[in-house]
Structure 1
Amino acid sequence: MKTKNTDSKIKVLLLITGSIAAVRIPLLVSQLAKENFEIRCVLSKNAERLIKPLSLSILSRNPCILENDQWSNIQSKPLHIELCNWADILIIAPLTATTLSKWVTGNADGLIPSILMANMKPIIVAPAMNTQMWLNKAVKKNYENLQNYENVLSLQPSEGLLACDAFGTGKIPPNDLIQLAIEFIISDSQNTYRKDLLNKEILITGGCTIENIDAARHITNKSSGAMGLLLAQVARFRGAQVKYVHGPLKIDKDLIDGIKRYEIETSFDLIKALKNEISNCDYFFMNAAVSDFKINSDTSAKIPKNKINDHLNKNFELVPDILQTISKSKKDNQVFVGFCAFTGSIDEARITIKEKIIKKGCDYLFANPIDLEGQGFGFSAQNEGWLFDTKNMEHYIKKTSKIDLANKLITKIISVKK
């Protein structure tokens, strides 16, 4: 998620309102500053009671802007207009019920509501409030109205222990997820932010599967689950209803926030979960790295080391191809996408890849090299790859961050007419 660029900085205007969750925002400012974003902070009067403007000024390297600055004598133009013109991306975190109400009802009373009314740039919304407030009918109606704003990327509040000591929904989304949303918008910068997957259901698998050898040993692979998760978050940011079926993840768990997900362990668990969900989806991304082998005998006891070789020789078997199995139930209106990691040159892999598309019964296969430095496994790794279809398409996506690759991959797939 690095954004460091010596040529230019992305300008982020951070609007902070008076939820107790505002105390977490200085950490977000510090995190974004380290990633080389240029940040300006605007504090509401209530937020000013919770965090010190001086702290935000020091962390952002820019003066913190307060409500009383709106009509300052030193301004040469209306401050809310100047700030909107300056910013590339806006974030409102936390968004309170009061500010939400002002925004959607056209009440520009105050600097932050004025900015929200005047803004046409992409804006990331991170609500935070008590659960009962969040579930209030008026708040829910206002939030639903906000979803019709084309430039708004909404992050639902998280579930957890709230400041009032109640457990429920209302926590501000994690800072890492807010930064991921920024990365998504930057990736989408050549196009206006769009919700082009509204009313679409997308099923995505990711991560590794695990097969037990005995009570103490197992077979698995290096997959971290990062690519599948980023496909899931990008699809959600673009408006889709997403379900993510995954094995054990080796990534920051905060980045899972907001995704409806099911954790599995074995290949049997995975195919069982897919059979329950596959008929409802419009798009299916089979990104999980399934273990190639499993043991077909009882694995509840630990095998002595001097007997493990015999145990493996007698009980080893190949795991059936899950995508090939699931594709047998594919409907005409569904799009299935497979993934293929390879080593060596694309010229050598091309024939095998095209054979796999037919064999697996999918519409597309994305092939990416894993033997190049800095590419392959893990969240921080970059990737490149080639998207093939069943005919003659071969679309190359150059080396980039995994979230940018996920975004470009989805864009290409939904743009092709079946």
Structure 2
Amino acid sequence: MEPVQRVLIGIGGGIAAYKVCEVISTLFKAGVQVRVILTDSAQQFITPLTVATLSRHPAYTDADFWQPHQRPLHIELGEWADVFLIAPLTANTLSKLSYGIADNLLTNTVLASRCPVLLAPAMNTEMWQQVAVQRNWQQLLTDLRFHALAPGYGLLACDRVGAGRMAEPAEIVTGVQSLLHTSGKRDLLGKRVLISAGGTREYLDPVRFIGNPSTGKMGLALVQAALHRGAYVTLVHAPIEWAVPQGVQAIAGVNAHQMQQAMLENFADADLTVMSAAVADVKPAEYSQEKLPKRSLPEQLPLAPVPDIVAELGRRKQPHQRLIGFAAQTGDIITPARQKLQQKKLDAIVANPIDKPNVGFGSDFNSAVFLDNQGRQIEIPHCSKLKLAHQLFDFVSGLYSRGQKTEVRSHSDLS
């Protein structure tokens, strides 16, 4: 049985406060217990009744802070939380946190807690770019307890287009879910992680291609998990329909040859490489620069092999590098995955079924069996792709140093 997950949300005074309502609702629907603190200024934008209705629990304000309680309220809340989200983080609250000032319920609770704190700033571009604000931001992030969702670029409430827009609710929820799994650990801090994602396309002419249903969602989850654990991430991707997260070096390609070039160019610098892309096995032997008329299509399409990228990476792998592969299979998923693990000189492989409902290509969920070259094998039941990504990094954590004995966390453990 999964342990209860508890998230405390502090809402600051800014128009972006309305976005936090979606975060509260999404977390509650996912079975997370949510408690909310509203600053006095936050109540100028959303009401305690709104967040209480969404979280199914009364909201806390400074008025509650000064009422008698069996135990001090800020102590009680600080000890209760597994993760503390502050969104929107205003310039005012940021300055208080950077100097350890505690003059309201929100800031007192931060100092009275030990759990990881996720920060999602939101403010006008000029405010965000002020030297004092940036100094406070950088100073606060020297404390590894604090995790950042830096503001994005876009249209602001002041009609300015620029930096300062709070992260979108889906990105915030993903950050919270990562911290619930890792408890804030950054075991990939300073490591360079290379990830491939998406399904390659091998074109016959400008409009027809040999491809597969991969959307790259598993690759996105791996990117998010690696970022949240402190890694420098390089993503090599085939055509995708999602936005690459901030802070990622992204290299786009279409076919296997382009992906091979990008992977080989970046592989030497990588500590850990995860080849999650669904790369085509063959391509049309000939390519037409113009669309072929239907009558000109061959009855039998001549095919040619494409580069075996993961095998080439296995041949080039240095002793300090770790290489993880994926094997999407139907029926028996273990035997072909174990063969691929050995033949391609992988350190570990993810065998995942594509013939089960609501897993694999296009789904937000997955299931898998992890195998490594030390003979370990662990089954991961149906879960979100983000959770599977974190469990994969847990599984391979002991492979970073050759010969190091690996301690694997149970897949029921929760970042």
* Residue type of the alignment partner of 1:396: I
Residue matched to 2:408: none
Query: Secondary structure in 1 aligned to 2:388?
Result: helix
Taking the aligned partners of 1:166 and 1:332, their CA distance within structure 2 comes to: 51
Matches within 5 A, 1:11-410: 11-72=6-67, 74-188=68-182, 192-249=183-240, 253=242, 256=245, 259-310=248-299, 312-313=301-302, 316-346=303-333, 349-350=334-335, 352-389=336-373, 392-401=374-383, 402-410=385-393
Taking the aligned partners of 2:342 and 2:55, their CA distance within structure 1 comes to: 53
TM-superposed CA distance for 1:303, in Å, is: 1.5
Taking the aligned partners of 1:152 and 1:395, their CA distance within structure 2 comes to: 34
Alignment deviations for residues 73-95 of structure 1 (CA, whole Å, 9 cap, x no partner): x4233221121123232211111
Taking the aligned partners of 2:249 and 2:147, their CA distance within structure 1 comes to: 18
Give the alignment's Cα RMSD to 1 decimal: 2.3
Moved over 4 A (4+): none
8 Å Cα contact 1:11/1:86 also seen in 2: yes
Residue matched to 2:411: none
Taking the aligned partners of 1:8 and 1:272, their CA distance within structure 2 comes to: 44
Query: Secondary structure in 2 aligned to 1:232?
Result: helix
* Unaligned runs of at least 5 residues, structure 1: none
Alignment deviations for residues 21-63 of structure 1 (CA, whole Å, 9 cap, x no partner): 1122222222223333332221112211122222222222222
Taking the aligned partners of 2:243 and 2:69, their CA distance within structure 1 comes to: 40
Taking the aligned partners of 2:275 and 2:221, their CA distance within structure 1 comes to: 13
Query: Secondary structure in 2 aligned to 1:309?
Result: coil
Tell me which moved more, 236-245 or 28-37: 28-37
Q: CA 1:157/1:363 → structure 2, altered by over 3 Å: closer, same or farther?
A: same
* Residue type of the alignment partner of 1:49: Q
* Residue type of the alignment partner of 1:340: A
* Residue type of the alignment partner of 2:181: S
Q: How many residues align?
A: 400
Query: Secondary structure in 1 aligned to 2:101?
Result: coil
Taking the aligned partners of 2:236 and 2:129, their CA distance within structure 1 comes to: 28
* Residue type of the alignment partner of 2:364: S
Taking the aligned partners of 1:41 and 1:26, their CA distance within structure 2 comes to: 10
* Residue type of the alignment partner of 1:249: I
Alignment deviations for residues 154-211 of structure 1 (CA, whole Å, 9 cap, x no partner): 22222222223233222111111221222223333xxx43111111111101111112
Taking the aligned partners of 1:28 and 1:336, their CA distance within structure 2 comes to: 35
Taking the aligned partners of 2:161 and 2:379, their CA distance within structure 1 comes to: 44
Q: Give TM-score scaled by structure 1 length.
A: 0.88
Taking the aligned partners of 1:394 and 1:8, their CA distance within structure 2 comes to: 26
Taking the aligned partners of 1:60 and 1:355, their CA distance within structure 2 comes to: 49
Query: Secondary structure in 2 aligned to 1:312?
Result: coil
8 Å Cα contact 1:158/1:258 also seen in 2: no
* Residue type of the alignment partner of 1:373: P
Q: CA 1:8/1:361 → structure 2, altered by over 3 Å: closer, same or farther?
A: closer
Taking the aligned partners of 1:218 and 1:396, their CA distance within structure 2 comes to: 36
Q: CA 1:195/1:220 → structure 2, altered by over 3 Å: closer, same or farther?
A: same
Alignment deviations for residues 240-290 of structure 1 (CA, whole Å, 9 cap, x no partner): 11122212235xx36845544233222122122223322222111111101
Taking the aligned partners of 1:237 and 1:301, their CA distance within structure 2 comes to: 45
Query: Secondary structure in 1 aligned to 2:97?
Result: helix
Percent identity between matched residues is: 35
Q: CA 1:387/1:142 → structure 2, altered by over 3 Å: closer, same or farther?
A: farther
Q: Give TM-score scaled by structure 2 length.
A: 0.88
Taking the aligned partners of 2:4 and 2:212, their CA distance within structure 1 comes to: 38
Query: Secondary structure in 2 aligned to 1:45?
Result: coil
TM-superposed CA distance for 1:373, in Å, is: 3.4
